[in-house]
A and B are shown apart, each in its own frame.
Chain A
Amino acid sequence: MAFGAQPVRTWPGLAAAALVAAVMLAALVAVALRAETGAGLGAQDWSAIRFTVLQAALSALFSVALAIPVARALARRSFPGRGLLITLLGAPFILPVIVAVLGLLTVFGRGGWLNALLGLAGLPPVSIYGLHGVVLAHVFFNLPLATRLILQGWQEIPAERFRLAAQLGAGPREIWRLLERPMLARTAPGVAALIFAICLTSFAVALTLGGGPKATTIELAIYQAFRFDFDLGRSALLALVQIVLTLAAATLALGVSARGGFGAGLDRVVQRWDARTPGLRALDAGLILAAALFLLAPLAAIAAAGLPGLLHLPEQVYMACLVSVFVAAVSTILLLCLALPIALAAARMPLVEQAGLLGLAVSPLVLGAGLFLLINPVASPFALALPVTALVNALMALPFALRILTPKAREEVDRHARLAATLNMGAWGFFRLVLLPRMRPQIGFAAGLAAALSMGDLGVIALFADPETATLPLQIYRLMAAYRMEAASGAALLLLILSVTAFWLCDRGGRHAAP
Chain B
Amino acid sequence: MLRLDNIRVDNGGFFLDADLGVEPGASVAVIGPSGAGKSTLLGAIAGFHPVVRGRILWGGTDITHDTPGQRPVAMLFQDGNLFPHLTVSQNVGLGIRPDLRLNVAEEDRVRDALLRVGLRTLGERKPAALSGGQQSRAALARVLVQKRPLLLLDEPFAALGPALKAEMLDLVAALAREAKATLLMVSHDPNDARRIAEQVILVAEGRAEEPAPTEELLDNPPPALRDYLG
Contacts and interface: CB of A to CB of B under 8 A. Distances in A.
Interface of A: 2-5, 415-416, 418-426, 428-429, 432-434, 437-438, 514-515
Contacts of B70: 424
B69 A424 contact: yes
Contacts of B48: 2-5, 418, 421
Nearest to B148: A422
B91 to A, nearest CB: 10
Contact of B83 (A5, A419, A426): A419
B80 A418 contact: yes
Scoring B68, B69, B85 by chain A CB atoms within 10 A of each residue's CB, the highest score goes to: B68
29 contacts: A2-B48, A3-B47, A3-B49, A4-B50, A4-B68, A415-B80, A416-B83, A418-B48, A418-B77, A419-B77, A419-B80, A419-B83, A420-B98, A421-B68, A421-B69, A422-B46, A422-B69, A422-B75, A423-B69, A423-B94, A423-B146, A425-B69, A425-B94, A426-B98, A428-B99, A432-B99, A434-B85, A437-B85, A515-B84
B82 to A, nearest CB: 8
B68 A5 contact: yes
Nearest to B10: A3
B74 interface: yes
Interface string B50-82: 100000000000000001111001110100110
A340 to B, nearest CB: 17
Contacts of B67: 4, 421, 424
Interface string B89-128: 0000011001110000000000000000000000000100
B47 A4 contact: yes
Contacts of B47: 3-5, 421
A439 to B, nearest CB: 10
A495 B120 CA distance: 54
Given A422-B74, A433-B99, A515 B126 contact: yes
Nearest to A430: B98
Counting from the closest, the 8 A-B pairs by CB-CB distance are: A424-B69, A421-B68, A515-B85, A425-B98, A3-B50, A2-B48, A4-B47, A429-B99
Contacts of B160: none
Scoring A418, A429, A437 by chain B CB atoms within 10 A of each residue's CB, the highest score goes to: A418
B86 interface: yes
B43 interface: yes
Contacts of B43: 2
A115 to B, nearest CB: 56
Interface of B: 43, 46-50, 67-70, 73-75, 77, 80-81, 83-86, 94-95, 98-100, 126, 146
A423 B50 CA distance: 19
Contacts of A415: 80
Contact of B73 (A422, A425, A426, A514): A422
A105 B73 CA distance: 69
B85 A438 contact: yes
B80 A514 contact: no
Contacts of B100: 429, 433
Nearest to B96: A423
A16 B46 CA distance: 33
Scoring A4, A5, A425, A433 by chain B CB atoms within 10 A of each residue's CB, the highest score goes to: A4
A423 B75 CA distance: 9
Contacts of B98: 420, 423-426, 429
B83 A434 contact: yes
B69 A2 contact: no
Contacts of A3: 47-50
A429 B46 CA distance: 20
A51 B95 CA distance: 65
Contacts of B75: 422
A328 to B, nearest CB: 29
Contacts of B69: 421-426
Nearest to B11: A2
Contacts of B86: 433
A409 to B, nearest CB: 15
Contacts of A438: 85
Contacts of A429: 98-100
Given A4-B48, A422-B75, A433-B99, A416 B85 contact: no
Contacts of B80: 415-416, 418-419
A512 to B, nearest CB: 14
A415 B94 CA distance: 17
Contacts of A421: 47-48, 67-69
Contacts of A424: 67-70, 98
A415 to B, nearest CB: 6
Scoring B48, B73, B74, B146 by chain A CB atoms within 10 A of each residue's CB, the highest score goes to: B48
Contacts of A420: 98
A429 B100 CA distance: 9
A2 B12 CA distance: 9
A422 B68 contact: yes
Contacts of B126: 515
A419 B50 contact: no
A368 to B, nearest CB: 41
A170 B47 CA distance: 59
B96 to A, nearest CB: 10
A362 to B, nearest CB: 37
A416 B98 CA distance: 14
A433 B98 CA distance: 9
Given A415-B80, A515-B126, A2 B85 contact: no
A397 to B, nearest CB: 27
Contacts of B74: 422
